[in-house]
Amino acid sequence: MEMDKLGVIATFIHNIIVYNIPLLYGTVGEIVVEKSGSLNLGVEGIMAVGAIFGYIVGCYTNSLFIGIATAFALGALMGLLFAALTVSLQANQNITGLTLTTFGLGVYFFVGNAIKAVRWPIMSDYSNIKSGFADLPIPVLSDIPVIGKGLFSHNILVYLGIVIALVMWYYLNRTSPGLRLRAIGENPGSADSVGINVKRYKYLHICLGCGIMGIGGYYMGLNMSGSFNSACWINGYGWIAVALVIFANWNTAAAILGTFVFGFFNTLRVSGSSLAVAFPEPLGWLAKVPTQLYQALPFIITAIVLVVTSIRKREGSGLPAALGLNYFREER
């Protein structure tokens, strides 16, 4: 069989990005939330809610932009719920987050099945959604062999995800609202004492972070061509995003790298045998690795990262000191 060997590599790189960008959205969103001192384990559910509403509204309005906006808004709404429960009502953050996952998946199936029982929008019928999600090669750069297709020929939501990650890095690390937010995550009492409105900051950033997660969910739906089945589009990516936050050391720019490293192993499962066929000499062994090991690999990597991070000294760690602790002003 004739095989385009360079094409195999290009596809491999392309897939690492295309299939794993939702992790970046989830991770960046969660970092923003966690930097405010709130641990939100509801990423999976929030992405699911953003996905289902974003997809349906986006299709019915035939506008990718409205789809993105809806996904963001619904994600933010879930964030508002989380903030109301944990910031105002002082509910336990872990439990609230887990509840949001269950609730979000429930909403996903409830809305999805209800719409499907009437008329499910098929993505290819909506020209603007379909063309909006098509690859948008960057001029000149995309003409470079191999990496042109691999790195510089993606849909607009891939670029948007990377831009959001970089903007959030700048916002958190180079602006004064970002500094105030980080101060809240480290010690909300001190932040409060210098006149920072802790509640307002928490509310705003929890909603912002959850909105970003919602867009990631919408991406998953579009990448699945909006085919609604008995399994959820999010497929556990929300949980991986929670782990990737630690991998990225609470740095949204590093999250880009983390996503690609994780995506490399994730995609190796799919592309392993292709690489083995294209390059039998150095990579032939890839085809002999059992599927089960490939399935486990991303999670083994996660476990290793968690161990390494926990060994690493407190200095240099981006872990907000007050993460997971509710701030109650009267107890200050």
| CA atoms within 13 A of residue 276's CA, in its CB half-sphere | 12
Longest CA span, the chain: 73
By CB under 8 A, is residue 300 in contact with another protein?
no
Q: Least separation, in Å, of the C-beta of 23 and another protein?
A: 12
Return the residues of window 231-260 that contact another protein according to CB under 8 A. 231, 233, 235
Per-residue string for binding with another protein, 1-40, x by CB under 8 A? xxx---xx--x---x---x---------------------
Residue among 190 and 227 whose Cβ is closer to another protein: 227
Residue that is written with structure tokens 């299939």 in the block: 19
Residue among 174 and 288 whose Cβ is closer to another protein: 288
- d(CA 111, CA 105) in angstroms, rounded, equals 10
- d(CA 29, CA 179) in angstroms, rounded, equals 17
Q: Least separation, in Å, of the C-beta of 153 and another protein?
A: 14
Per CB under 8 A, the segment of 75-83, 116-124, 138-146, 159-167 that binds another protein is 116-124
Per CB under 8 A, the segment of 49-57, 90-98, 112-120, 252-260 that binds another protein is 112-120
Q: Give the count of residues interacting with another protein (CB under 8 A).
A: 39
Cβ–Cβ under 8 Å, residues 31 and 250: yes
Each residue of 284-311: b (16+ CB within 10 Å) or e? Answer: eebeeeeeeebeebbeebbeebeeeeee
Q: Least separation, in Å, of the C-beta of 19 and another protein?
A: 6
Tell me, what amino acid is at 199?
K
Both tokens of 16, joined, read: 């690492």
Tell me, what amino acid is at 184?
I
Return the residues of window 202-231 that contact another protein according to CB under 8 A. 223-225, 227-231
Cβ atoms within 10 A of the Cβ of 321, count?
Answer: 12
Residue among 259 and 267 whose Cβ is closer to another protein: 267
- Helix, strand, or coil here: 122? coil
By CB under 8 A, is residue 295 in contact with another protein?
yes
Alpha-helical regions (H) of the chain: 5-18, 21-35, 43-61, 64-83, 93-118, 127-132, 147-151, 156-174, 176-186, 188-193, 198-223, 237-247, 252-278, 280-283, 291-311
Cβ atoms within 10 A of the Cβ of 183, count?
Answer: 21
Kindly tell me which residue out of 84, 98, 111, 277 binds another protein, with binding defined by CB under 8 A. 277
Residue among 70 and 271 whose Cβ is closer to another protein: 271
Sign of CA dihedral 105, 67, 114, 80: positive
By CB under 8 A, is residue 288 in contact with another protein?
no
Q: Least separation, in Å, of the C-beta of 16 and another protein?
A: 11
Per CB under 8 A, the segment of 114-122, 146-154, 245-253, 313-321 that binds another protein is 114-122
Q: Site residues (CB under 8 A) for another protein?
A: 1-3, 7-8, 11, 15, 19, 109, 112-113, 116-117, 120, 122, 124, 223-225, 227-231, 233, 235, 267, 269-271, 273-274, 277-278, 287, 291-292, 294-295
